[in-house]
Structure 1
Amino acid sequence: MTGTPRRWADEHAVVVDLGFGDAGKGVTVDLLCARRRFGAVVRANGGAQAAHNVVAPDGRHHTFAQFGAGTLAPDSPVPTHLSRFVVVDPFALAAEAGHLVSLGVRDPFALLTVDRRALISTPWHQAVNRVRERARGAARHGSCGMGVGETMAYALAHPEDAPTVGDCADPARLRGKLVRLAAYLAEHAGRGEDFPDVEECLPAYRAFAERVRLVDERYLPGLLAASPVVFEGAQGVLLDEWHGFPPHTTWSTTTTANPLTLMAEAGQEGGARRIGVVRTYTTRHGAGPLVTEDPVLGAALPERHNGTHPWQGGFRVGHLDLVAHRYALEATGGVDALVVTHADAPDRIRAATGAAPRWCTGYAGADGSPLRIAPAAVPDLERQERVTAALLAARPVLEAMPVEPAAAIGDALGVPVEAVFSGPTREDARTTWAREPRGWSGARRSTRVSA
């Protein structure tokens, strides 16, 4: 790559969760957007099942799902772009916009652009998702019940019939696709489910297409050339469709792969700072391996914005799992910086339990021998299922956590720590990121790099 070297102030940012989700991607994006000027927050995976909690310094709280977590940035909201990798739910989007209006965001839809190629998740997908999950009984996967996986599965099986955002602007085309979708799902998985009426849903999709700016493949390259953006990841690397532990995974690429793909398509390879987010302890929402799980920690570290979910199940807590987070780092190809959240948790653990916090430095397998895990070089779901079985039987090797946990986590993972949160808002962060001068106009800057 040639041309003028990038400075951090000119780079795009990619925010990725190095756990099972819920590490603090939302508050990290909120902080970034408060410190720097970005042209947009770009969502590059997931859909309405995302839940990124942001608490503004004035106490306003919003759980971001499809809108970017820069929407509550001070001075002015940062626009959101939903890329082709996002599964868009127009009904959930309208509900989210309504809550943002109640928080004082004047016109949320005016902040939004959506790639016409993105799939839409419908009430039919959601209904079948819930039918399947209920049928699994005690063997539930931990689905969020939003239909994202069903949307992806149907699109893979019937790519020409899968409804897209662009179809919402063509009622006749969308009607045909929805009729075929409803019939197919009712025949193969509905089991008597009372699906909504297609004609009753069409006006909502038409309103979505009229209210939101729909764009084609030329839009994002122009946006990336005009100014830096933040790519806000959804879920966590340990839930990745290929690198996670099936069947307790998401139908989504949760690593940095999608943002890097979008930048490469725009001729901007290497133009991003990759930021990994971890807590000072490890959590998981719902079923699946959590080797370091400890109910005592769950009682000591209550969650204000995470609890038992009717579809995912309970919110689970364990000791900081260095093994799992190293695996995530390798799976996503590394990061350039760390953000550590919940830095106050070790002190809360001491106060609640009278014991020093611990972290996991290794696993012991079912036979007591050391258990090592590494990402597969090529996608192999059967291999990952064997890893899942091994992790469910594994025990953690625990040691005392150092007194300065955030710095120790950076040292243990081999990544510099650039922000530390000791509370839920951007004002609770200590960071090496300098604020941009107040007098800067926010004019767009070219970030195009010649190859």
Structure 2
Amino acid sequence: MNHVTVVDLGYGDAGKGTVVDLLCATRQVHTVVRFNGGAQAAHNIVLRDGRHHTFAQFGAGTFRPGVRTHLARHVVVDPLALAAEADHLASVGVPDALDRLTVDGEALLATPYHRAANRAREIARGADRHGSCGLGVGEAVAYGLAHPDEAPRVADCHRPAVLRRRLTALRDRLTAELGPLDAPPVDDCLPAYAAFARRVAIVDRTWLASALRAGTCVFEGAQGVLLDEWHGFHPYTTWSTTTFANAETLLAEAGMAGTAQRLGVLRTTTTRHGPGPLVTEDAALPFTDRHNGTNPWQGRFRFGHFDAVAHRYALEVAGGVDGLALTHVDLAGPELRICRRYEDMGRLVPGPAGDLDRQAALTQRLLRTRPVLGEAPADWPAAVSEALGAPVVLTSHGPTAREKEGPLVNAFCRGRAPA
């Protein structure tokens, strides 16, 4: 079926959404499967006619007629944010996004109580903020781990009495811990969840297995491998597995293990939104990003030279790729260079999953080290391929699908030009 899994090998914001949109524009894709993260994702798609949408929970192929979105059980689902996103899609010419959506009933719900608790904790950290998006995704995961049998889940939206009990317990626990929360009463929230249950197809695990057999699916990751909950640079990480692991689990459950092409996405300038290590950061780089600026929760959007050391680490953590997609090639000029090693550190070696003390110690070393920068390459795809030991199969020279080229485009086009 030529399934593809798209994962960011940096700190996020490398252009996963544009790659997913391209794949959906150049061949028939049945479903885009979101397999981690939640409403904090921000995958920007720009069409040739100027329409723009920042995809958070809907798949980045939703501009393409007929392409479905499936939110797998690993996604933290926020129905209130989802409704607002659907409204914006309707305003830019996609009125049927909710009709093309399925959601696994086992997925955790992100609620106003999670969001309020998330923001209260981040504010309390003062100058030591972690750079949270402030949307409660990590809070929902943490609560689900602590109270797995009581955490609100998508299927509960069909059971108002159960949902009321679980939301009340959630609110009471968080209030006891943090004090009064800036969130509405439980009974004020219930009608919105009931409307979500009436409007959206809530399914079980078997739905995805059927979709995988019905046609090509594209698995769309969120955040980046360098933010992974177990292998990222703690504590500046996400509460989500950002590697290929969740997608591989879903494929294996459908009896299709190892059948998806693994595509890693990078941009020519290594970036990070918010605090945490960015070894190659250079304030003199003349870059801005119109879709990524400073915001109250994550902080500012930072730019650095291409960090081959960190990206090689991400490749190892992720278990390798079949190909690389290199974005923002149009920005690469003489001022942008490649870092192949750090001054006082060797290769970054992945550790065992779950050893957060080790990851925190690695973070402190990264915050102190400095990059050794090579010259600006004349051929960026060749230089990245050589530095990382993987082929560049797609390059992006602008935001739209027509500004992508390379072997992956040719393999997927089958006579259709990107729109």
Q: When the two structures are superposed, what TM-score results if normalisation uses the length of structure 1? A: 0.90
Which of the residues 364, 371, 386 maps onto 1:389? Answer: 364
Alpha-carbon distance in structure 2 between the residues aligned to 1:377 and 1:342? 33
Equivalence for 1:136: 125
Q: Does 1:252 align with 2:236?
A: no
Kindly indicate whether the alpha-carbon contact (under 8 Å) linking 1:70 and 1:77 is maintained by their aligned counterparts in 2: no
Q: Does 1:207 align with 2:195?
A: yes
Q: Which has the larger radius of gyration?
A: 1
Alpha-carbon distance in structure 2 between the residues aligned to 1:180 and 1:127? 15
Equivalence for 2:312: 326
Q: Does 1:241 align with 2:229?
A: yes
Aligned-pair CA distance for 1:195: 2.6
Which of the residues 259, 263, 268 maps onto 1:271? Answer: 259
Equivalence for 1:58: 49
Kindly indicate whether the alpha-carbon contact (under 8 Å) linking 1:39 and 1:227 is maintained by their aligned counterparts in 2: yes
Which of the residues 345, 348, 362 maps onto 2:331? Answer: 345
Alpha-carbon distance in structure 2 between the residues aligned to 1:78 and 1:155? 31
Deviations 1:377-411 (A, max 9, x none): 44311110110010000100111021011221122
Equivalence for 2:92: 103
Q: Does 1:15 align with 2:6?
A: yes
Alpha-carbon distance in structure 2 between the residues aligned to 1:364 and 1:417? 27
Counterpart AA for 2:358? R
Alpha-carbon distance in structure 2 between the residues aligned to 1:235 and 1:150? 16
Equivalence for 1:26: 17
Aligned-pair CA distance for 1:37: 1.1
Deviations 1:313-357 (A, max 9, x none): 00000000000000000000000011110001123xx4xxxxx42
Deviations 1:112-155 (A, max 9, x none): 00000000000000000000000000000000000001101111
Kindly indicate whether the alpha-carbon contact (under 8 Å) linking 2:394 and 2:406 is maintained by their aligned counterparts in 1: yes
Kindly indicate whether the alpha-carbon contact (under 8 Å) linking 1:336 and 1:416 is maintained by their aligned counterparts in 2: yes
Alpha-carbon distance in structure 2 between the residues aligned to 1:96 and 1:289? 31
Alpha-carbon distance in structure 2 between the residues aligned to 1:95 and 1:123? 14
What residue ranges of structure 2 are gaps of 5+ in the alignment? none
Alpha-carbon distance in structure 1 between the residues aligned to 2:136 and 2:390? 36
Residue correspondence of structure 1 range 146-165 to structure 2 within 5 A: 146-165=135-154
Alpha-carbon distance in structure 2 between the residues aligned to 1:309 and 1:123? 20
Kindly indicate whether the alpha-carbon contact (under 8 Å) linking 1:89 and 1:120 is maintained by their aligned counterparts in 2: yes
Equivalence for 1:359: 338
Equivalence for 1:401: 376
Counterpart AA for 1:282? T
Deviations 1:253-287 (A, max 9, x none): 00000000000111101100000000011000001
Equivalence for 1:373: 348
What secondary structure sits across from 1:344 in the alignment?
A: helix
Equivalence for 1:436: 414
What secondary structure sits across from 1:71 in the alignment?
A: coil
Aligned-pair CA distance for 1:371: 3.5
Alpha-carbon distance in structure 2 between the residues aligned to 1:430 and 1:372? 32
Report runs of 4+ in structure 1 exceeding 3 Å deviation. Answer: none
Residue correspondence of structure 1 range 407-418 to structure 2 within 5 A: 407-418=382-393
Equivalence for 2:280: 292
Deviations 1:135-191 (A, max 9, x none): 0000000000000011011111111110000000111110111111111110012x2
Kindly indicate whether the alpha-carbon contact (under 8 Å) linking 2:340 and 2:387 is maintained by their aligned counterparts in 1: no
Kindly indicate whether the alpha-carbon contact (under 8 Å) linking 1:83 and 1:114 is maintained by their aligned counterparts in 2: yes
Counterpart AA for 1:240? D
Kindly indicate whether the alpha-carbon contact (under 8 Å) linking 1:280 and 1:406 is maintained by their aligned counterparts in 2: no
Q: Does 1:125 align with 2:111?
A: no
What secondary structure sits across from 1:59 in the alignment?
A: coil
Kindly indicate whether the alpha-carbon contact (under 8 Å) linking 2:9 and 2:225 is maintained by their aligned counterparts in 1: yes
Equivalence for 2:207: 219
Alpha-carbon distance in structure 2 between the residues aligned to 1:322 and 1:126? 35
Alpha-carbon distance in structure 2 between the residues aligned to 1:357 and 1:290? 15
Alpha-carbon distance in structure 2 between the residues aligned to 1:431 and 1:103? 29
Alpha-carbon distance in structure 1 between the residues aligned to 2:66 and 2:386? 35
Counterpart AA for 2:73? R
Q: When the two structures are superposed, what TM-score results if normalisation uses the length of structure 2? A: 0.97
Counterpart AA for 1:135? A
Alpha-carbon distance in structure 1 between the residues aligned to 2:373 and 2:315? 20
Count of aligned pairs: 414
Counterpart AA for 1:361? R
Alpha-carbon distance in structure 2 between the residues aligned to 1:206 and 1:336? 43
Aligned-pair CA distance for 1:77: 4.0
